[in-house]
């Protein structure tokens, strides 16, 4: 029994001490190697001459010269058919050349000075010239010593003549600059006529005739400038501002002296206004300016004059000559300061862009925009 028991214990210990070998891990599955995608073929670069033609065509496209742009793009495609943009721009240019694409531009024609002809400009011309005609009728009747009914009849007929003449002048449309040129001529003519009355001490019929002749003559000059020079509204505003401030500042400086009479002050004011108008007329041809900038400059002159007069009044309350002289200096300083501060007021702000009809997809229509950004 003892021997059998020992054998059983030995066999049991041997079975417990042996560990089962770990199961073999499965062999990794074979992984297929992925090949790199084929590279896209890069088109050959276009010659430098083709890129130059493309730039010229794009510039013509943004300026609205469609036929010139189309010819440039066609030459680019002949020299470099794989150009990435020439084909699409050539198609857009051809779309703009069809008659239907020009309807929008024909509805709002642009004059040579870059301004659009508008009904508002025609309306302003007719309103001012109708009032001018009525004024001429009243002055004529005053010279002829008409009755009360004669004044009314003369004013009505002359007003109708002014409205008719302005309507004939505005046939085909006018720009705001052209209307401003004619109307400014009318106002300056009446002003010079009235100033001549006080400057040369005229009276009775001579004074009235001078006012009539001044208004008619300067209106004719304004119409001539509007039809030949075709100024913009900014240029007309610049000339008007130059004549106005030249006369005002001269009158302020002269009136600050006690020994200057009224006749000399009006004569000096007319001479200064004439010099300002002529000088700014030549300057405006080479210096494009907007009406908004001129309004800011005028506001600077007004504020400068008020500041100068107020400052001098605080120190010398009873010296009127010094206050008037200081107002003139302040106006000149304000005009100069605002002119310098607004030197970049009319600079380019928005990119040039052109909106054109385009064909999108299959039998689809849409709009395409191209421009220089």
Q: Do 196 and 298 share a structural domain?
A: no
The answer to whether the beta carbons of residues 273 and 246 sit under 8 Å apart is: yes
Q: Do 208 and 183 share a structural domain?
A: yes
Q: Do 226 and 271 share a structural domain?
A: no
Domain that includes residue 281, residue range: 232-342
Predicted confidence at residue 240, as pLDDT, reads 93
Residue 191's nearest CA partner among 143, 251, 150, 238 is 251
Residue 67 lies in a domain: yes
Q: Do 216 and 121 share a structural domain?
A: yes
Residue 243 lies in a domain: yes
Residue 15 lies in a domain: no
Q: How many Å apart are CA 145 and CA 154, to the nearest integer?
A: 12
Q: Do 212 and 262 share a structural domain?
A: no
Predicted confidence at residue 8, as pLDDT, reads 43
Q: Do 364 and 284 share a structural domain?
A: no
Instruction: Work out the average pLDDT over 48-65.
Output: 85
Residue 37 lies in a domain: no
Boundary (domain end) residue, out of 170, 198, 230: 230
Q: Do 291 and 277 share a structural domain?
A: yes
Residue 362 lies in a domain: yes
Q: Do 284 and 257 share a structural domain?
A: yes
Three-state secondary-structure class, residue 129: helix
Q: Do 240 and 226 share a structural domain?
A: no
Residue 11 lies in a domain: no
Boundary (domain end) residue, out of 230, 251, 283: 230
The answer to whether the beta carbons of residues 131 and 163 sit under 8 Å apart is: no
For residue 318, the tally of other CB atoms under 10 A from its CB is 7
Predicted confidence at residue 156, as pLDDT, reads 92
String of DSSP letters for 140-175: HHHHHT--HHHHHHHHHHHHHHHHHHHHHHTTT---
Lowest mean pLDDT among 9-18, 37-46, 107-116, 344-353: 9-18
Q: Do 119 and 67 share a structural domain?
A: no
Boundary (domain end) residue, out of 208, 230, 252: 230
The answer to whether the beta carbons of residues 78 and 47 sit under 8 Å apart is: no
Q: How many Å apart are CA 285 and CA 35, to the nearest integer?
A: 70
Structure-block tokens of residue 205: 């019929």
Instruction: Work out the average pLDDT over 111-132.
Output: 81
Instruction: Work out the average pLDDT over 233-249.
Output: 91
**Residue pLDDT, tens place only, 84-118:** 888 888 888 887 776 555 544 444 455 555 677 78
Q: Do 259 and 246 share a structural domain?
A: yes
pLDDT bucket at 369, cuts 50 / 70 / 90: low
Residue 5 lies in a domain: no
Q: Do 317 and 238 share a structural domain?
A: yes
The percentage of residues in the chain with a pLDDT greater than 90, rounded to a whole number, is 23
Does 1 have pLDDT greater than 80? no
Residue 29 lies in a domain: no
Provide the domain count of the chain. 3
Structure-block tokens of residue 345: 């007021």
pLDDT bucket at 10, cuts 50 / 70 / 90: very low
């Amino acid at each position: 029994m003892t021997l059998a028991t020992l054998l059983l214990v030995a066999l049991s210990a041997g079975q417990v001490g042996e560990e089962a070998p770990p199961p073999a891990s499965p062999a990794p599955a074979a992984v297929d190697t992925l090949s790199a995608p084929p590279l896209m073929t890069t088109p050959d670069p276009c010659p430098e001459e083709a890129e130059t033609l493309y730039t010229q065509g794009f510039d013509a496209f943004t300026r609205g010269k469609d036929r010139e742009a189309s010819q440039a793009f066609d030459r680019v495609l002949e020299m470099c058919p794989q150009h990435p943009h020439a084909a699409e721009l050539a198609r857009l240019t051809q779309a703009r050349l069809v008659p239907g694409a020009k309807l929008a531009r024909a509805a709002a024609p642009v004059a040579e000075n870059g301004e659009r002809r508008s009904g508002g400009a025609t309306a302003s011309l007719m309103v001012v010239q109708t009032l001018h005609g009525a004024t001429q009728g009243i002055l004529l009747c005053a010279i002829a010593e008409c009755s009360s009914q004669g004044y009314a009849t003369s004013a009505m007929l002359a007003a109708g003549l002014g409205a008719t003449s302005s309507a004939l002048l505005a046939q085909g449309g006018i720009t705001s600059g052209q209307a401003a040129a004619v109307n400014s001529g009318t106002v300056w003519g009446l002003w010079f006529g009235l100033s001549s009355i006080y400057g040369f001490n005229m009276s009775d019929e001579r004074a009235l005739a001078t006012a009539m002749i001044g208004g008619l003559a300067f209106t004719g000059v304004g119409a001539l400038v509007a039809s030949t020079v075709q100024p913009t509204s900014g240029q007309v505003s610049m000339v008007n501002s130059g004549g106005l401030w030249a006369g005002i500042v001269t009158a302020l400086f002269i009136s600050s002296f006690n020994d200057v009479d009224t006749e000399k002050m009006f004569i000096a004011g007319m001479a200064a206004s004439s010099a300002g108008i002529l000088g700014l007329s030549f300057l405006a041809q080479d210096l494009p300016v907007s009406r908004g900038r001129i309004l800011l400059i005028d506001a600077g002159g007004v504020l400068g004059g008020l500041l100068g007069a107020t400052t001098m009044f605080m120190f010398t309350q009873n010296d009127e000559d010094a206050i008037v002289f200081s107002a003139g200096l302040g106006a000149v300083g304000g005009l100069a300061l605002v002119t310098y501060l607004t030197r970049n007021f009319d600079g380019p702000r928005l990119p040039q862009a052109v909106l054109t009809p385009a064909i999108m997809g299959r039998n689809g229509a849409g709009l395409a925009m191209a421009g220089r950004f």
